[in-house]
Structure 1
Amino acid sequence: MDEDFVNISFENMDEEHLCCAMADKKHQCGVQMKKAWLKEQIPEGHIFRKLGVKGKVFIEYAPLEKAWVPIHGANYLYIYCLWVAGAFKGKGYAKSLLEYCIEDGKKQGNAGICILSSPKKKPYLAEEKFLLHNGFQVVDSIGEYELLALSFDGTKPYFAENAKRGTIDRDTLTIYFARQCPFIPNCVEQIKNYCGSNGISVEFIEVDSLEKAKSVPCVFNNWAVFLNRKFVSVQLLNEGGLKKILER
């Protein structure tokens, strides 16, 4: 099965699609943004591995010290995203991608692999049941979000103290976002338009550096929402998703 996969590199990036946003024109700005971000991250050890077909089948991971998340741990790899969708489910692709990451970590002498998940299935997060079945264990938690790890040497990664705050000093709807997901520009546009049309104050805070990502005051994978000073979710929002949060 390994011969069906390809790793994104400087040499093939222009020809290869990014699985999560392929043909939808409204996300093409985000695709270009993501590719620019990838070009910055590949030298830092970032891996984007995908199935060589037009489908949502891929894994993204990076050395935890260089991963844009408020999580610490010595010599770990952090999985940003493990996604197998649609007709590709049930064919062993998720396990194959995860095994590739695990073997890569062992070859590099890493201490283990970690990933953000939740006991309750959530969009954009790998299913916890699948991870537990493959040897991962819950090593830290913040509310309904859990940090899972597969340790090779007994050490454990952990959430940064600032991530446990879960509060900010403003009542305004506030969204932290980074550039590593192709869906983000369209989400930002939809939320700006909806808030502007309905007289809702909203503030966007771009997390544009590793230092900022490590210091965000909440759980963060590339997006985080605050309302009435409290952390709400890491789920990317379109207009419909925002309405649901405002109606709670």
Structure 2
Amino acid sequence: MNSFIDLSKENIETEHVCCAISDKKHQKGVKLKKEWLTARMEEGHTFRKLDAKGKVFIEYAPLEKAWVPVIGKNYYYIYCLWVSGSYKGKGYGKQLLESCIAKAKEEGKSGVCILSSKKKTPFLSDKAFLTKYDFKVVATYRETYELLALSFDGSLPAFSHSLEEELPYSEELVIYYTHQCPYIHNCISQVVSYAEEKNIDLKLIHVDTLEKAKNLPSVFNNWAVFYKGQFETVHLLNKGFLDKLITKKN
């Protein structure tokens, strides 16, 4: 039976961060991820993973310090809960989520929250799995994205007020991003290349402070895409997915 490991400043250089273990094109992203994560550890950020060479982990932080446009007090915010490949169906997701819930209760938190969606969406945790633990929808954005919360004391988190603000129209492709996800560095490279090929005006906005993250104009876990003044997706983009998005809009 494999055990779980919490990443720390002492072991982060020798441990992998699950998502991009051996793919060479993501190694720069892995380096950036580890730097970002190390800087967050003193804020209570937790990255717990299976002690195995696989994508089995949960990542969460105190909501007050979570780099997302979600507000509330004394909650944990789960960025990512991921079990993939041959590790599915073995109860690892259950163990990881329950460890987060247990820790929240031990520390006297008001609850745990997470971004999900009405229908299963890539890069977001499955709503059906979360509702088994009594997570409830407490806020909705654009009829697709949902903030789910498991409250211990009746208090609830909410989306930041910045999501309600009207955005000025722009023809640009605008992407907000952090270095939290190891895939982002390569995604940016592909987006820049595609924009140059198709002569598309591209604006990349690095979200590099907590304040910026809390005041973003859309839902966001580590990435948000706008095109022609409209929010499109939190789906990480490669050239193929981006081409579909641009073609559909034009």
Alignment of 1:88-103 (within 5 A): 88-103=87-102
Q: What amino acid maps onto 2:243 in structure 1? A: K
In the alignment, the residues of structure 1 paired with residue 127 and residue 164 of structure 2 have an alpha-carbon distance, to the nearest angstrom, of 21
Alignment of 1:142-221 (within 5 A): 142-143=141-142, 144-165=144-165, 167-221=167-221
In the TM superposition, residue 198 of structure 1 has moved relative to its aligned partner by 1.6
Q: What amino acid maps onto 1:92 in structure 2? A: G
User: How many residues align structurally?
Assistant: 247
In the TM superposition, residue 153 of structure 1 has moved relative to its aligned partner by 0.4
**What is residue 71 of structure 1 aligned with on the other side?**
70
Matched, 1:246 2:246: yes
Query: What secondary structure sits across from 1:191 in the alignment?
Result: helix
Matched, 1:107 2:111: no
Query: What secondary structure sits across from 2:146 in the alignment?
Result: strand
In the alignment, the residues of structure 2 paired with residue 166 and residue 46 of structure 1 have an alpha-carbon distance, to the nearest angstrom, of 32
Query: What secondary structure sits across from 1:221 in the alignment?
Result: coil
**What is residue 125 of structure 1 aligned with on the other side?**
124
**What is residue 20 of structure 1 aligned with on the other side?**
19
Q: What amino acid maps onto 1:71 in structure 2? A: V
**What is residue 35 of structure 1 aligned with on the other side?**
34
TM-score w.r.t. the length of structure 1 is 0.97
In the alignment, the residues of structure 2 paired with residue 17 and residue 166 of structure 1 have an alpha-carbon distance, to the nearest angstrom, of 41
In the TM superposition, residue 169 of structure 1 has moved relative to its aligned partner by 3.7
Q: What amino acid maps onto 1:72 in structure 2? A: I
**What is residue 232 of structure 1 aligned with on the other side?**
232
In the TM superposition, residue 227 of structure 1 has moved relative to its aligned partner by 0.6
Contact 1:64 1:72 in 2 (8 A): yes
In the TM superposition, residue 163 of structure 1 has moved relative to its aligned partner by 1.8
In the TM superposition, residue 166 of structure 1 has moved relative to its aligned partner by 6.6
Deviates more, 1:167-176 or 1:218-227: 167-176
Q: What amino acid maps onto 1:101 in structure 2? A: C
Contact 1:137 1:150 in 2 (8 A): yes
Query: What secondary structure sits across from 1:58 in the alignment?
Result: strand
Contact 1:119 1:145 in 2 (8 A): yes
In the alignment, the residues of structure 2 paired with residue 25 and residue 191 of structure 1 have an alpha-carbon distance, to the nearest angstrom, of 18
Q: What amino acid maps onto 2:125 in structure 1? A: A
Contact 1:174 1:204 in 2 (8 A): yes
Query: What secondary structure sits across from 2:9 in the alignment?
Result: coil
In the alignment, the residues of structure 2 paired with residue 151 and residue 214 of structure 1 have an alpha-carbon distance, to the nearest angstrom, of 21
In the TM superposition, residue 165 of structure 1 has moved relative to its aligned partner by 3.4
In the TM superposition, residue 154 of structure 1 has moved relative to its aligned partner by 0.6
**1:31-67 Cα deviation digits (max 9, x unpaired):** 0000000111000000000000011000000000000
In the alignment, the residues of structure 2 paired with residue 48 and residue 242 of structure 1 have an alpha-carbon distance, to the nearest angstrom, of 30
Aligned CA-pair RMSD: 1.0
Any stretches of 5+ residues in structure 2 without a counterpart?
none
Q: What amino acid maps onto 1:202 in structure 2? A: L
4+ runs deviating over 6 angstroms: none
Contact 1:195 1:201 in 2 (8 A): yes
Q: What amino acid maps onto 2:239 in structure 1? A: E
Any stretches of 5+ residues in structure 1 without a counterpart?
none
Aligned-pair identity (%): 54
Contact 2:177 2:222 in 1 (8 A): yes
Contact 2:169 2:228 in 1 (8 A): no
